[in-house]
């Protein structure tokens, strides 16, 4: 279980390093809010093996590993051979834990875990511990020949990372029925019951009937390690996976957006009036993204990103070599293996207080001073800070001494599963959603800037251009308290539009 004192801040970081025919140029360096990379260099290059070894230091605050789970950084590399006009995803040389040629460096003991698709690696503590993680001279090996890069190409690299939380294999419950009541449209076997997800198949799983939930009349079976009726590969949540510790932030979105081509940027431009965008470069419902041409900007890098359509979120997810999450995984991340509490929020009880007052300049150090506040909801207009109403800084309720309830954390340590912005999930109540097999993005988008995984909801003719088979979980900053409960499914619309309440959070199946 997540230790409430073991929380850390989010961010997507960018570091640049360049090589030309094996000659190292000066790297650009950047850092961001506790998760940072520095001293990026090309440690070596092998023309015969067609590999480049990228070396860097990595650190973040308030890292943890306990007997149940741990946090991690998903680290991946992008490269350009045309001066930044186009960026591609780098393929690492070898999969496995601490593979040959890679180095765990010196400092906090870590493991480097490279999945079989070799699209990045998890960096995580190798032993039980907590506090700041700081390791120098970490090395990744890039197999540039696999990506079609020649020995004489002029290449610029960018290293990115996203904070994740490891969620272990475990039984858990869906739904929050106590025999008498349950949250709106909660998943159940019969009304006001729960569903145990384990290696034993559970039959007759249903949800209340509404327009986008068609399994009420056609119940399904769920087998924790065997999928669902008709789809043995559906991610039920039973098996281990990594989930983003925070919802996508404005800073992460800008870093993603600024690697796109101009055509792709136009598709992903949330500042336009297209598809429900905010139609402004000025702050709107506390969203500060601005873009006309060139690079997008934000003045609030730590704030949860809003105005994301399903297609926007899937594009970010494919680009980062992650995948969408299912409703089952959402409930497991919030509840863990704990006993169900009727109408519980992500922190495991029904105690909730809305944030109302922000203290300090909103530069990543601001805090909520409302007594006992642990969620952003109820359409509150804030006092202090930037005022207005909308999402707040990701992780804002957590401190080094806060309890799970005070910090608003899920069982394993994921933040803001209740409130702030809606988390979009694969909809179990929709026949399209039930065809999802959990494939990971490959880091490459279509020329139009869309995700390209054929099993992801909304896929058609080579791209994810719709939202059928998706829905919303966890509520948002304008929701009533009941919508924030872990099992509430009142917002199951498969809408493809953007909105000032809509965000995203991605996952990756554990290697």
Of the candidates 137, 167, 197, which is a domain's last residue?
Answer: 167
Q: Is the pLDDT of residue 407 over 80?
A: yes
Which of helix, strand or coil describes residue 277? coil
Say if 292 falls within a structural domain: yes
Contact 181, 343 (CB under 8 A): yes
- Considering only CA atoms, which of 509, 391, 486, 408 is closest in space to residue 7? 408
Of the candidates 167, 193, 214, which is a domain's last residue?
Answer: 167
pLDDT score for 10: 36
Is the domain of 163 the same as that of 301?
Answer: no
Q: Is the pLDDT of residue 105 over 70?
A: yes
Is the domain of 267 the same as that of 385?
Answer: yes
- Considering only CA atoms, which of 64, 52, 59, 63 is closest in space to residue 75? 59
Is the domain of 340 the same as that of 455?
Answer: yes
**Would you place residue 127 in the very low, low, confident or very high pLDDT band (cuts 50, 70, 90)?**
very high
Question: What DSSP character marks residue 240?
Answer: -
Q: What is the mean pLDDT of residues 135-142?
A: 98
Question: What DSSP character marks residue 281?
Answer: S
Locate 246 and state its tokens: 């925070």
Q: Is 103 exposed, middle or buried (0-12, 13-18, 19+ CB in 10 A)?
A: middle
Of the candidates 149, 167, 185, which is a domain's last residue?
Answer: 167
Is the domain of 154 the same as that of 267?
Answer: no
Domain that holds residue 364: 245-511
Number of domains in the chain: 2
Locate 380 and state its tokens: 């509150």
Say if 237 falls within a structural domain: no
pLDDT over 90, % of the chain: 83
Task: Tally Cβ neighbours within 10 Å of residue 170.
Answer: 19
Condensed to tens digits (0 to 9), the pLDDT of residues 357-379 reads 999 999 999 999 999 999 999 99
Q: What is the reported pTM?
A: 0.94
CATH label of the domain that carries residue 413: 3.90.1580
- Considering only CA atoms, which of 96, 414, 72, 114 is closest in space to residue 237? 414
Condensed to tens digits (0 to 9), the pLDDT of residues 250-260 reads 999 999 999 99
Q: Is the pLDDT of residue 25 over 60?
A: no
Say if 464 falls within a structural domain: yes
Condensed to tens digits (0 to 9), the pLDDT of residues 191-211 reads 999 999 999 999 999 986 555
Condensed to tens digits (0 to 9), the pLDDT of residues 214-234 reads 676 789 999 999 999 999 999
**Average pLDDT over the chain, rounded to an integer:** 91
Locate 278 and state its tokens: 């905010």
- Considering only CA atoms, which of 128, 113, 136 is closest in space to residue 58? 136
Question: What DSSP character marks residue 103?
Answer: B
Is the domain of 502 the same as that of 400?
Answer: yes
Is the domain of 148 the same as that of 252?
Answer: no
Say if 186 falls within a structural domain: no
Which residues lie below 8 Å from residue 190, measured CB to CB, with a gap of 6+?
204, 206
Q: What is the mean pLDDT of residues 19-30?
A: 33
H/E segment holding residue 330: helix 327-335
Is the domain of 131 the same as that of 252?
Answer: no
Compute the chain's Rg from CA coordinates: 22
pLDDT score for 6: 32
Say if 337 falls within a structural domain: yes
Q: How far is CA 306 from the centre of its chain?
A: 14
End-to-end CA distance of the chain: 21
Is the domain of 148 the same as that of 262?
Answer: no
Condensed to tens digits (0 to 9), the pLDDT of residues 50-70 reads 999 999 999 988 789 999 999
Q: How far is CA 31 from the centre of its chain?
A: 19
pLDDT score for 22: 34
pLDDT score for 234: 98
Is the domain of 262 the same as that of 113?
Answer: no
Say if 286 falls within a structural domain: yes
Say if 410 falls within a structural domain: yes
Task: Tally Cβ neighbours within 10 Å of residue 50.
Answer: 17
Is the domain of 149 the same as that of 277?
Answer: no
Is the domain of 156 the same as that of 251?
Answer: no
12 vs 442, more confident: 442
pLDDT score for 31: 32
Range with lowest mean pLDDT among 33-42, 82-91, 130-139? 33-42
**Would you place residue 16 in the very low, low, confident or very high pLDDT band (cuts 50, 70, 90)?**
low
The full DSSP string for 402-443 is: --HHHHTB-TTS-B-SSSSSBEEEE-TTSTTGGG---PPP-S
Q: Is the pLDDT of residue 85 over 60?
A: yes
Question: What DSSP character marks residue 482?
Answer: G
Say if 179 falls within a structural domain: no
C-alpha to C-alpha distance for 195 and 205, rounded to whole angstroms: 7
508-to-228, 237, 244, 383, 439 alpha-carbon distances in Å: 19, 11, 9, 38, 9
Is the domain of 306 the same as that of 435?
Answer: yes
């Amino acid at each position: 279980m997540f230790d409430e004192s073991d929380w850390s801040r989010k961010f997507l970081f960018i570091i640049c390093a360049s090589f030309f025919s094996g000659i190292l140029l000066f790297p650009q360096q950047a850092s961001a809010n506790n998760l940072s990379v520095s001293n990026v260099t090309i440690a070596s290059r092998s023309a015969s093996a067609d590999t480049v070894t990228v070396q860097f230091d990595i650190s973040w605050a308030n890292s943890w590993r306990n007997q149940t789970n741990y946090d991690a950084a998903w680290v991946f590399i992008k490269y350009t051979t045309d001066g930044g006009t186009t960026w591609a995803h780098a393929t690492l040389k070898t999969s496995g834990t601490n593979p040959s040629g890679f180095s765990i460096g010196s400092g906090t003991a870590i493991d480097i875990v490279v999945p079989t698709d070799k699209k990045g690696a998890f960096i995580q503590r190798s032993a039980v511990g907590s506090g700041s993680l700081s390791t120098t001279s970490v090395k990744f090996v890039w197999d540039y020949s696999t990506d079609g890069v020649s020995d004489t190409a002029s290449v610029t690299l960018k290293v990115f990372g996203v904070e994740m939380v490891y969620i272990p294999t475990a039984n858990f419950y869906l739904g929050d029925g106590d025999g008498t009541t349950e949250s709106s449209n909660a998943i159940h076997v019969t009304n006001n019951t729960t569903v145990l997800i384990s290696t034993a198949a559970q039959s007759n799983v249903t949800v209340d009937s509404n327009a986008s939930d068609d399994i009420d009349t056609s119940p399904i079976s769920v087998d924790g390690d065997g999928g669902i009726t008709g789809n043995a590969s559906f991610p039920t949540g039973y098996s281990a996976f990594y989930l983003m510790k925070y919802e996508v932030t404005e800073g992460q979105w800008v870093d993603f957006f600024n690697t796109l081509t101009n055509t792709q940027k136009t598709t992903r431009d949330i500042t336009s009036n297209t598809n429900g965008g905010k139609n402004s470069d000025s702050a709107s419902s506390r969203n500060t993204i601005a873009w006309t041409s060139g690079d997008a900007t934000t003045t609030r890098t730590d704030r949860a990103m809003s105005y994301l359509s399903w297609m926007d979120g899937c594009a970010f997810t494919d680009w980062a070599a992650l995948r969408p999450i299912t409703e089952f995984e959402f409930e497991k991340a919030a509840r863990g293996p704990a006993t169900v509490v009727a109408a519980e929020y992500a922190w495991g009880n029904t105690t909730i207080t809305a944030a109302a007052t922000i203290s300090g300049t909103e530069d990543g150090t601001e805090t909520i001073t409302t007594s006992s506040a642990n969620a952003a909801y109820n359409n509150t207009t804030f006092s202090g800070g930037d005022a207005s109403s909308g999402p707040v800084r990701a992780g804002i309720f957590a401190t080094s001494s806060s309890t799970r309830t005070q910090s608003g954390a899920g069982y394993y340590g994921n933040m803001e599963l209740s409130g702030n912005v809606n988390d979009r999930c694969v909809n179990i109540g929709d026949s399209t959603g039930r065809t999802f097999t959990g494939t990971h993005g490959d880091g490459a988008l279509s020329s139009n800037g869309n995700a390209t995984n054929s099993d992801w909801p909304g896929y058609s003719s080579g791209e994810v251009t719709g939202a059928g088979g998706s829905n919303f979980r966890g509520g948002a900053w304008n929701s009533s308290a009941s919508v924030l409960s872990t099992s509430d499914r009142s917002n199951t619309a498969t809408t493809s539009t953007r909105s000032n309440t809509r965000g995203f959070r991605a996952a990756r199946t554990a290697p």
